Structures are given as structure tokens and as C-alpha cells.
Structure 1
Amino acid sequence: MSAPTENESPQVAFSDLALSDAVMAALADVGYETPSPIQAATIPPLLDGKDVLGQAQTGTGKTAAFALPILSGLPDRGKGGKGPQALVLTPTRELTIQVAEAFQRYASHIPGFHVLPIYGGQGYGPQLAALKRGVNVVVGTPGRVMDHLKRGTLKLDALDWMVLDEADEMLRMGFIEDVEWIFEHTPPQRQVALFSATMPSAIRRIAKTHLREPQEITIQTKTTTAINIRQRYWIVGGGTSKLDALTRLLEAEPFDAMIVFARTKKSTDELAERLSARGYACAALNGDIVQAQRERTVAKLKNGQLDIIVATDVAARGLDVERISHVINFDIPHDTEAYVHRIGRTGRAGREGDAILFVTMREKRLFKAIERATRQAIEPMDLPSIAEVNEQRVARFKQRISVALAEGKLKPFRELLDEYRAEHNVDPEELAAALAYLAQGDEPLMLSPGKADRGDRSAGPRDMGAQTPKSANKSKARQQSFGDGDLETFRIEVGRTHGVEPRNIVGAIANEAGVDSAHIGRIDIRDDFSLVDLPKGMPEDIFAHLKTVWVAGRQLEIQREDGAPPAPAAGRRGKPGPKPKSKSKKPGKAKAKPGKAKPGKKRAKPKSE
């Protein structure tokens, strides 16, 4: 492979790249004139028949970099009816659909062109029918492509091009063995283009094995994230939960559309539900949602019916919606590549974007790793102040009045109010204030400093579970009492044999329950469960949520341990449990006797206790 080359933004136009007339006509239709650096560097060698190894950050236009030369070469190389001439492998269903749509758009002036996206979650019937009729380009996920090859319903005898898009993501998702298998079932003379945002050793090994003297193109940038994305972080704490912090941002931070990233499928569902309850047009996007619903969700985000998507990394991979102005990392990603891919969902097509990262104190090391990988300092931020939130609320209220005045439908109401004033002799200003109160409803127009500073749940535009002042007061009192009193002992179903450490338990409970780590007492780690001392008065919704939280690959399944000894007044966490012999033995010898509990096994006592 040739040495990487650094490419500055070229002063060229698409008309300088020897693309076909049909492709140029399609580019004129969509208004594209100047190629991005990766496109300008990649299109000429692909048109010359060379293999290409391209590295550029997400959102730089890699799809057009391979789609345009393939479409330009179809009339010359097409073998017609013998099978697809091009195969594009993508890691996710969303990216598969996006790439297929791009091919269709760029081929709008090529008569008889057909592209077929194939992916899991879609029935085989439409795919089989399309393959039987004949297609020019197949875009698919590795698993479904393998299925069709094994069934004999997809034949690659006529294949001229093979493309790996987002190869590093395929590696992260465990698809590399599938990719290798597909490579082995392609003609030896096919032309290959491999594109990746990062270039791990496993990707380079594939390139060395399957690409022939490739032109290696690396688009050098000062950072691995786009310069038009403003990156900020907030340290979780100060009595404000992540959910309350997010709702404050939503109220005070102007945004068009937003993706909120959470770690787990369950978290996306729960967070989307809570944001919807607070009045936001929001939906979840994760792997458990059927494909048809996922496509409808993305379409709603594009057309403005939804403003917020709460997604997992995999579900949002390849999501390209121009109106996404903000990416919120509600949960910090486990690796730096995932962070780069996440924030690449904003700042698309040259627009400005904002990325905000929530970081707990125990995630500082991972945060620093992200800064090193992006070679960019992420700036700290403060949550919007109460004054800023109130200012936005007042502005929105005034805007509602302006809209109502502009619509000009006030005549019948004006007559009604004149009649009311004559009957009750009410001052016009008093009457207007009363109507404003009715329009606002039970939700206070202004936040009080006490509520927002304590991270009270009423910090959002709609108070979840607090529809009346009375219930709001109960919720407030419950939050204040939790963490201020005595301790009680809880049992969680994760222990020493699962590899858990005290810091894992503290981090999970502090983040998910909103308990300051200073209020978490003794942590007694046993073989297959642990005992934790937490403040009395845990709200039932937090208690129910903690049951579902995962630590060390297991759900906590937290329950009150009535039979445990009372918690010491100054209990400290991190000390070993009451089995010092087991702790002192070498690994593997603690279970020498038969009948001992095996890792992951539940205790014999029924779960219903």
C-alpha cells in the first residue's frame, strides 16, 4: 500500500472529475457543485479502476465518494441481468437505507437503474422478488448478505465493485468475520473501496489481504471531529440529576432537532417516555423497535413531527438528518470511536452543530481519553441558570400571545370579554391576567430558585407525576428526605464471582438513583450477591428503576434485605465481605469443593421474599 497522503480542500468542481453526463445531471438537480476533500481525492482513482483505502471522519461525504464513480462506470462495465455489478456492505439498517437512497438520487438520469437495500428485520419476499428481476447495486448488512449468498438467491458472478462503508463500525459490532467470508465469495478481479473513520489494525489487515495495491487516502484534520461542531461537557452532580439537567437544557438551549444517546435499549425507552411526559415531541430508536417503526420515526424527525430522538449507538449509526442541531451524550460512550460517530450526527452538510457530554466524576478518565483521541479540548459548561430558564419561558409565553394576535380570530372572544366586564365591572388588566393564568394551567410559569437548584423534578416544562400543586409538594418532600436520614440495607444480585468492584456499584447507584456518593454506606461484596447500605426513604420509582440497572453484566435486582444486620452508623464501603479466606486464596481455588455456588447462579431463596 502506498503511504498516506494529506489532502487539503481542493479548488475543483465536480465537472473536473470526469464523471458521466448522467451523474453530472443528477448532481445539478440536487445542487452540488464542489466535492468534499474525500470525494475529490477518491473519485479519480476509483474511475481509473484502482482499489482505494479511504479514511475520513464521519459526515464528510464518503457515500458520494464511492457512489458517483460506480454510477459513472455502470454503462461501460454493466453485464446486464447476471447479477449486481456493485455490492456495498454497511453495518446497520439505517445506513443501508441511507446509502441506497443516495444511489437512487444520484442515478436519477440513468435509465433502468435499480438499487436494492437488504437488511435484517425486513421480510425476504420483496428482496427475493427484486433480486430475481435483477438489480445493478445491492446495499446490505453483512448478515443478510450472507443469508442470500448461502441460499443462492444472490449471485456475485458479475460483480465489478465491492465497497466496505464504515468498516471500523463493522469491526466494533463483530461483523468482521462475516465480511471476510463475503470477500471470499466475490470474484478475484473486483475493484474494492474501503472507507473508515478510524483505522484499527484489524481493518488494515483486511485491506492488506483483499485490496490490490490500493491508493491510500487519509484526509488529515486537526481533530477527528468536525470543526463546525461545538463540544461541551457538564460534570454530573450538585444535586441535579442527569434527567433534570437535560430538561433544563431543552428549555434554555435553542435547538432545531436533537439526538440524545443512552447506553441501553431500556434506557432509551425510559428516557423517551419521561421526555414525552414533559411535553416534548420525542421517540426512542433502538434495536428492539421493528424496522418499519424505525423508518417512520426517522421520517418524522426529518419532517418536523418529532424534535428529539433518544437512541443507542447502533440504532443511530448512519442517521443523516440535516436538521439535527444538537447531540446530547446522556451516557458517556465506552470508547472514543463511538463518541466520534455520535457527534458526527450533527453539523452535517456544512451546518453548525452542538455536542454536549454528561460526565460523572468516575468517568473522568474516559473523558480525558476522548479529548486525547479527538485532539481537541472539550469546553466545560454550566447548566442554564434559573433566570435563563425563566427568561425562555416568558419569551415563549409572549410568543404565544403574539401568534394569537396575528391570527386575527379574536372578535368573538373580544365580544365575550366586553360582556363579562359589563356584568362584573372588572379591570381589563385584571381580566387579562386571569386569562393568562387559565392559559398557563397548573404548571408554574416561573421556576423558583429552590426547585431548580435542588434538581427537583419540576424543572421540566411538564412535571412528570406532579400534575397538581399537592402532588408536586409530595414529590418535593420525598426527594428532600431521600439521602438525609438513616441507612437501611439492600441486596443486589451481583457479587465477587461476577467481577464487580465497589466503584462499579457506587457509580451505578449514584448515577441512576441520584444519590450523592457520600450518602452510600457499607458495601459488602459476597460471592454471588452484595449488600449495600443506602438512605432510607428511597422513592418507589427510583427503587423500581434500580432493579433494571446493569452492573458487571447483570441486573441489580435490588431488594430490601430485612434479614441483614443493621447498618453501622458510619459504615464505609469498599471493605471485603465476611469471607476473608475466599479472598486470600488464589484465583480458581475458592470453588474447589463441590456444591459451591457457580458464577451467575441465584441463591436458593425464592425471589419473592
Structure 2
Amino acid sequence: MINRFEEFNLDKNIIKSLKNMKYEIPSKVQSKVIPQLLNNKDIIVKSKTGSGKTASFAIPLCEKVDINNNSVQGLIIAPTRELALQIKEEVQNIGRIKKVRCSAIFGKQPLKEQVAELKQRVHIVVATPGRIIDHIGRGTIDLSNIKFFIIDEADKMLNKGFVDDMESIMTKLPQNACKGMFSATIDDNINSVCEKYMKNIIRIEIKDEDKYIKKQISEFFINSEEENKYDLLKSIIYKECPHSVIVFANTRDKVDEIYKSMKKDKFTVGVIHGDMSQDKRLFIIKDFKENKFNILVSSDITSRGIHVDDVSLVINYEVPRDKENYVHRIGRTGRVDKLGKAITIVSTKEEKYLREIEEYTKNQIEEISSIDEREVSEGKDKFKILQENLLKNRKSNINKKENQEVTKIYLNVGKKKKIRVIDIVGAFSNIEGINNEDIGVIEVKDTCSYVDILNYKGENFLKNNKTIIIKKKQVKVKKDNS
């Protein structure tokens, strides 16, 4: 078992980033996967949600990228925009000091902007299936230099709905491209497609001891008639008094109904489902991660697409009809080495679905026969204090500053003012105390630009510079907190 990331012989800047991210000891999946991808082996990986799968492929991709080669060298496919953006964030954080550039492309985003971004120096692309196929068809992405092709949530991506798209992409990859398929569940669909397009496949399955799994995510169900479910939901939350909780429902209408009721009852609550705009969904996830509210009511859109490390409770307001969705839902809690709890509220007509889930997971879910009203009453007072503290912390954190190794700087000029990456590099290199090695990833958009300042120099730069001259233009600079 590998105990330190240094044992993988990674680039010193990757190690530096991992330390900044507080990644200290590789998880089981990382210990097994990273060496195989570093050796360009095709792999199929089955590992439970929250085990560290994303970093297990993001680390070797960032390591193997040649930053002096401006072409796309890694392609990662994800089923949802939310997951694509979170993978991008992970890749960026791991590769930031090495200056690895990552881009996320997905639908409902202007194609023109994506084409312009792909023309810049991009090393790794994270994409949803439809949009990447659109770019391939238009010839706006070059796959000829792809070294790594990764499919995340492969069980969903290689099912009947997406499999033709995935095969279409794989036929256009270089023959020597290393391929990796990652999922919490693996079925025959994955195996048949992989055997067609992958060579000398190494299969990795991370099995934890049964005792450990049961200890890490405690699973329960409680029976309720449909009309009593909402009152029961409140009782469960008060009794459990969770630091953060996700409440899952099967339909968007039900999600909205629960959210409106909880808002009316003065809970600090957010809502997310597929009918919402992309920008709004991203803001909701960001606010939930930052503890601006501690109850998220959601459809299955976040069962695979949200990585929050400290969700202490998952409540299934309705039993999912898709057995695999149950596994992914409860996997939002008990992530990595933390403990978690999942409670499913089951009506009489839903009992058969619960039995199917037990059969599928080969795990008997423990029944809660009743909830102690005294515990609910005591918990209600505690939970109200918890939510009040949440609001206080939200206010006190607004002006909190940290002297971070990497500071992202916002500039109020971009391509429309004929600004190029080289212009920004030249301008920053002329700032006293800033050298070329202190300038990280640069993104030039139409009307603005972003620059990573490395080596703890960002805060000092901002303190001494409110503006900077680029191509004889006075440009405003500020810290990017988005």
C-alpha cells in the first residue's frame, strides 16, 4: 500500500498542489489506479462513490501532460454539466502550479466561446457527450494528440442512450491513446464496449470489508403514508440534527413542492433540478459547498454530479426507481474516510422498489420503526441554533482573507480589446517582484481575462496594484472570488 503521493515520482509542482489541497495519503483507488495510468495501461475501475476516483485519473493526466505542447492531450467525458465542471475544478487544482490548462465544454453554453477557448492553449478537456461530438463534427477540436481518454460514470455513459456516442468518439482517438472507464457500478454493457476498443484491459475493483462499508454509510428506512411524508421528513432532520443534508425526490414537481414547504417553515434550504438554468444550478452547488445553506432538495441530477465532502445525511423522500441511482444518491454522504447516514422514507406502494434495491446491493437496509418525539423536540432546538450559527458564519466569512499559494486575478479586458496571452505575460513580467515562474494559467475571454499568480505573491500584488498597463491600456485588476 502506497502511503505518500511522493512514492509515485510525480512532478514537484503536482506534489505541491496536492499538499495545498490537503491530499496527504492516497486512497485505495488512487494507490491502484495512478501507477497503471502513469504506465499507459487501459483500465476499468469499479469503486464506490466518494472513494477518490476523480483524483485517481486527474493526477496522472496532469502528470503526463506536456505543458509546452499546446494541443489537447487528455479528454474526459462526464454525463452532466455539474460533474464536468467539478472534474475541471479538480484537474485545475491539481495541475495549477504546473500550469496545466483545463477546459469544460457542454451544452447550453455559446459554441462560439468554446471554439475560441479551444483555440487557446488547452491541455485537458472535460466534456458532456453531445457537445464534444458537435465539436468533433465541426472540426473545432483536434483529437490527434490525445494521450488519455477517460469516461467517468461509465455505467451511465455506456448504456443504450449514450453508447453510440461513446463508440463514435473512441473510433476517432489515436490507437495508442490510454483509456480508462470509472464507475461505482459496472455491468455487461461496459465490458462488451470496452473489450471492443481497449487492449490488455486491467480491471480494478476496490472492495472494502463489509464491516467497514456498513460503518461508513449507515442505511435505514422508515415506513410512511404519502400524506405524512413531509412531517416525517422534518422529524428526521430535527432528530438527526445534521450539519448538512441532501433530500432526494424523483420528480422536479416533488422537489419544488418540498423546497417551498421547507422555505415556508424557515429552513435554510436550497433547491436544484434540471428545469433550472445552468448558471443557477452552478450557484446553488457553490453556495451549498460553502455552507450558505445546509439543506439541499434535489432531483437525481446531483446524485452523480456533486462532490461535497461533509454531507452528513442523505434522505430519500421517495424510493428511486433506478436501483443504481440509490447507490449514487447515498454515496453523497460517507465520502472518502468520513462517516455518513442514509434514510429512505417508504410508502406502501414503494416497498417493492426497496426490496429490489436490497437485492441489487446485497445489503439488508435496517428499519426504523418509530421516531422518539422527545428526541425530535430536543433536536429541533439544537438544529435552530445550528442554522443560526450558519447565518452568522456566512456573514463573518465574507471578508475573510487567506494568503494562498495561488491567487486568481481578474482583468477587465479581453479579446475584444485585442489582448493576447503574450501581452498579459509581458505586462505581469514587468511588475516588481513578479517573475515568469510566478505567472500560472492565463485565460483570455471576450471581455475579461484571468491570471493565476503563484508562489504566495498574489495578495501582495493586489495590495500594491489596483491597475496594470497592458498594451498601453490601463486595466483594472482585482481578486477573482467566483
Q: TM-score, normalised by structure 1?
A: 0.61
- Alignment of 1:98 with 2:97, yes or no, is no
Rate the CA distance shift 1:225–1:152 in 2: closer, same or farther, 3 A.
farther
- Alignment of 1:47 with 2:47, yes or no, is no
- Aligned pair partner of 1:345 in 327, 332, 344: 332
Equivalence for 2:283: 296
- Aligned pair partner of 2:141 in 148, 154, 159: 154
Asked if the contact 1:222/1:375 (under 8 Å) is kept, the reply is no
Equivalence for 1:23: 14
State the alpha-carbon separation in 1 of the partners of residues 233 and 328 from structure 2. Answer: 21
State the alpha-carbon separation in 1 of the partners of residues 140 and 249 from structure 2. Answer: 38
Equivalence for 1:32: 23
Rate the CA distance shift 1:47–1:363 in 2: closer, same or farther, 3 A.
same
State the alpha-carbon separation in 2 of the partners of residues 400 and 98 from structure 1. Answer: 27
Asked if the contact 1:43/1:66 (under 8 Å) is kept, the reply is yes
For residue 204 of structure 2, give the secondary structure of its aligned residue in structure 1.
Answer: strand
AA partner of residue 359 (structure 1): V
Asked if the contact 2:61/2:148 (under 8 Å) is kept, the reply is yes
State the alpha-carbon separation in 1 of the partners of residues 387 and 95 from structure 2. Answer: 45
Report 1:20-419 matches (<5 A).
20-75=11-66, 80-81=69-70, 83-111=71-99, 113-171=100-158, 174-222=161-209, 227-237=215-225, 241-393=228-380
For residue 122 of structure 2, give the secondary structure of its aligned residue in structure 1.
Answer: coil
Rate the CA distance shift 1:269–1:380 in 2: closer, same or farther, 3 A.
same
Rate the CA distance shift 1:397–1:227 in 2: closer, same or farther, 3 A.
closer
State the alpha-carbon separation in 2 of the partners of residues 400 and 207 from structure 1. Answer: 48
State the alpha-carbon separation in 2 of the partners of residues 225 and 358 from structure 1. Answer: 21
The total of aligned residue pairs comes to 388
Pairwise CA distance, 1:281: 1.6
AA partner of residue 8 (structure 2): L
State the alpha-carbon separation in 2 of the partners of residues 190 and 230 from structure 1. Answer: 40
Rate the CA distance shift 1:343–1:398 in 2: closer, same or farther, 3 A.
closer
AA partner of residue 177 (structure 1): D
Rate the CA distance shift 1:29–1:320 in 2: closer, same or farther, 3 A.
same
For residue 350 of structure 1, give the secondary structure of its aligned residue in structure 2.
Answer: coil
Pairwise CA distance, 1:30: 1.7
Pairwise CA distance, 1:368: 2.0
State the alpha-carbon separation in 1 of the partners of residues 386 and 309 from structure 2. Answer: 26
For residue 349 of structure 1, give the secondary structure of its aligned residue in structure 2.
Answer: coil
State the alpha-carbon separation in 2 of the partners of residues 98 and 397 from structure 1. Answer: 31
State the alpha-carbon separation in 2 of the partners of residues 233 and 329 from structure 1. Answer: 9
Pairwise CA distance, 1:18: 2.3
State the alpha-carbon separation in 2 of the partners of residues 398 and 88 from structure 1. Answer: 43
Structure 2 gaps of 5+ residues are 390-482
AA partner of residue 317 (structure 1): R
Asked if the contact 2:17/2:94 (under 8 Å) is kept, the reply is yes
State the alpha-carbon separation in 2 of the partners of residues 115 and 396 from structure 1. Answer: 40
Asked if the contact 1:225/1:344 (under 8 Å) is kept, the reply is no
Rate the CA distance shift 1:343–1:173 in 2: closer, same or farther, 3 A.
farther
Rate the CA distance shift 1:394–1:209 in 2: closer, same or farther, 3 A.
closer
State the alpha-carbon separation in 1 of the partners of residues 152 and 387 from structure 2. Answer: 46
Q: TM-score, normalised by structure 2?
A: 0.76
Asked if the contact 2:249/2:298 (under 8 Å) is kept, the reply is yes
State the alpha-carbon separation in 2 of the partners of residues 391 and 183 from structure 1. Answer: 57
Report which stretch shifted further, 341-350 or 370-379.
370-379
State the alpha-carbon separation in 1 of the partners of residues 388 and 273 from structure 2. Answer: 39
Equivalence for 2:422: none
Pairwise CA distance, 1:54: 1.1
Report which stretch shifted further, 265-274 or 218-227.
218-227
Report which stretch shifted further, 83-92 or 168-177.
168-177
Rate the CA distance shift 1:225–1:155 in 2: closer, same or farther, 3 A.
farther
Pairwise CA distance, 1:252: 2.2
AA partner of residue 327 (structure 1): V
Pairwise CA distance, 1:20: 2.1
State the alpha-carbon separation in 2 of the partners of residues 339 and 221 from structure 1. Answer: 19
- Identical-residue share of aligned pairs (%): 32
For residue 234 of structure 1, give the secondary structure of its aligned residue in structure 2.
Answer: strand
State the alpha-carbon separation in 1 of the partners of residues 64 and 219 from structure 2. Answer: 41
Report which stretch shifted further, 199-208 or 392-401.
392-401
Note the alpha carbon deviations across 1:230-276, whole angstroms, 9 max, x for none: 11100113x96111110111222211111111111121112111111
Note the alpha carbon deviations across 1:434-484, whole angstroms, 9 max, x for none: xxxxxxxxxxxxxxxxxxxxxxxxxxxxxxxxxxxxxxxxxxxxxxxxxxx
Rate the CA distance shift 1:144–1:226 in 2: closer, same or farther, 3 A.
farther
For residue 213 of structure 1, give the secondary structure of its aligned residue in structure 2.
Answer: coil
Asked if the contact 1:27/1:106 (under 8 Å) is kept, the reply is yes
Rate the CA distance shift 1:307–1:323 in 2: closer, same or farther, 3 A.
same
Asked if the contact 1:225/1:340 (under 8 Å) is kept, the reply is no
Rate the CA distance shift 1:382–1:184 in 2: closer, same or farther, 3 A.
same
State the alpha-carbon separation in 1 of the partners of residues 382 and 320 from structure 2. Answer: 35
AA partner of residue 97 (structure 2): H
Structure 1 gaps of 5+ residues are 1-9, 403-609
AA partner of residue 73 (structure 1): K
AA partner of residue 80 (structure 1): N
Rate the CA distance shift 1:13–1:176 in 2: closer, same or farther, 3 A.
same
Rate the CA distance shift 1:395–1:55 in 2: closer, same or farther, 3 A.
closer
Asked if the contact 1:79/1:158 (under 8 Å) is kept, the reply is no
Two-structure CA RMSD over aligned residues (Å): 2.3
For residue 231 of structure 2, give the secondary structure of its aligned residue in structure 1.
Answer: helix
AA partner of residue 57 (structure 1): K
Note the alpha carbon deviations across 1:276-322, whole angstroms, 9 max, x for none: 11111222211111110001101111122221111111244220112
For residue 109 of structure 1, give the secondary structure of its aligned residue in structure 2.
Answer: coil
AA partner of residue 94 (structure 1): E
For residue 336 of structure 2, give the secondary structure of its aligned residue in structure 1.
Answer: helix
Pairwise CA distance, 1:173: 8.0
Rate the CA distance shift 1:84–1:400 in 2: closer, same or farther, 3 A.
closer
State the alpha-carbon separation in 2 of the partners of residues 353 and 383 from structure 1. Answer: 20
Rate the CA distance shift 1:227–1:204 in 2: closer, same or farther, 3 A.
farther
AA partner of residue 130 (structure 1): E
AA partner of residue 140 (structure 1): A
Which structure ranks higher in relative contact order (CA pairs < 8 Å, sequence separation ≥ 6)?
2
State the alpha-carbon separation in 1 of the partners of residues 68 and 198 from structure 2. Answer: 23
Pairwise CA distance, 1:326: 0.9
State the alpha-carbon separation in 1 of the partners of residues 218 and 64 from structure 2. Answer: 39
AA partner of residue 62 (structure 1): K
State the alpha-carbon separation in 2 of the partners of residues 383 and 281 from structure 1. Answer: 26
For residue 348 of structure 1, give the secondary structure of its aligned residue in structure 2.
Answer: coil
Judging by fraction of residues, say which structure has more strand: 2
Pairwise CA distance, 1:395: 5.5
For residue 268 of structure 1, give the secondary structure of its aligned residue in structure 2.
Answer: helix
Pairwise CA distance, 1:200: 1.0
Asked if the contact 1:57/1:226 (under 8 Å) is kept, the reply is no
Pairwise CA distance, 1:400: 11
